[in-house]
Amino acid sequence: MRKVIVVDATWLKNGYGGVLVFAKAQDPNQHDYPLAFAVLDGENDASWTWFFEMLKSVIPDSCELVFMSDINRIMISAIVNVFSQAHHGHCLWHLKENVKLHACGVRKDIVGHRFMELGRYYTVADFNSAYDSFKISYPSAYKYVEEQTEEDRWARVFFQRDRYNLDTSNSVESMKNINKEATTWALIPMLDCIIGKFSDWFNQHWKDAVSGSIDSKLVPRVKNCLHELWPVAQKLHVRKIDSYVFEYEITDTEGKMFLVSLVERSCTCKVWDYEKFSCLHGLAAYISLAATFISMSCAQNTTGTELGHLHILGHFMLCPTSLLGMYRITSGR
Q: Does 323 bind Zn ion (CB under 5 A)?
A: no
Q: Which residue in the set 78, 92, 172, 279 belongs to the binding site for Zn ion (CB under 5 A)?
A: 279
Alpha carbons 65 and 192: distance in angstroms, whole number: 30
Name the segment binding Zn ion (CB under 5 A); options: 130-138, 145-153, 280-288, 290-298: 280-288
Nearest distance from residue 260's CB to Zn ion, in Å?
6
Nearest to residue 96, comparing CAs of 23, 42, 165, 154? 154
The dihedrals phi and psi of 19, each to the nearest 5 degrees, come to: -130, 150
Question: 166 or 271, CB closer to Zn ion?
Answer: 271
Q: Pairing relation of β-strands 247-251 and 266-267?
A: unpaired
Question: 168 or 278, CB closer to Zn ion?
Answer: 278
Size of the site for Zn ion (CB under 5 A): 5
* Beta carbons of 127 and 121 less than 8 angstroms apart: yes
Nearest distance from residue 284's CB to Zn ion, in Å?
9
Q: Which residue in the set 6, 175, 269, 326 belongs to the binding site for Zn ion (CB under 5 A)?
A: 269
Alpha carbons 244 and 64: distance in angstroms, whole number: 30
**Burial (CB count <10 Å: 0-12, 13-18, 19+), residue 111:** buried
Nearest distance from residue 237's CB to Zn ion, in Å?
14
Nearest to residue 314, comparing CAs of 297, 328, 326, 295? 297
The 3-class SS string of 65-90 reads: CEEEECCCHHHHHHHHHHCCCCEEEE
DSSP, collapsed to helix, strand or coil, labels residue 297 as helix
Nearest distance from residue 122's CB to Zn ion, in Å?
9
Question: 14 or 251, CB closer to Zn ion?
Answer: 251
Question: 121 or 258, CB closer to Zn ion?
Answer: 258
* Beta carbons of 154 and 94 less than 8 angstroms apart: no
Question: 265 or 281, CB closer to Zn ion?
Answer: 281
Q: Which residue in the set 24, 94, 281, 309 belongs to the binding site for Zn ion (CB under 5 A)?
A: 281
Nearest residue relative to Zn ion (C-beta): 267
Question: 35 or 287, CB closer to Zn ion?
Answer: 287
Nearest distance from residue 270's CB to Zn ion, in Å?
7
Residues 142-201, interacting with Zn ion (CB under 5 A): none
Residues 238-267, interacting with Zn ion (CB under 5 A): 258, 267
* Beta carbons of 242 and 276 less than 8 angstroms apart: no
Q: Which residues bind Zn ion (CB under 5 A)?
A: 258, 267, 269, 279, 281
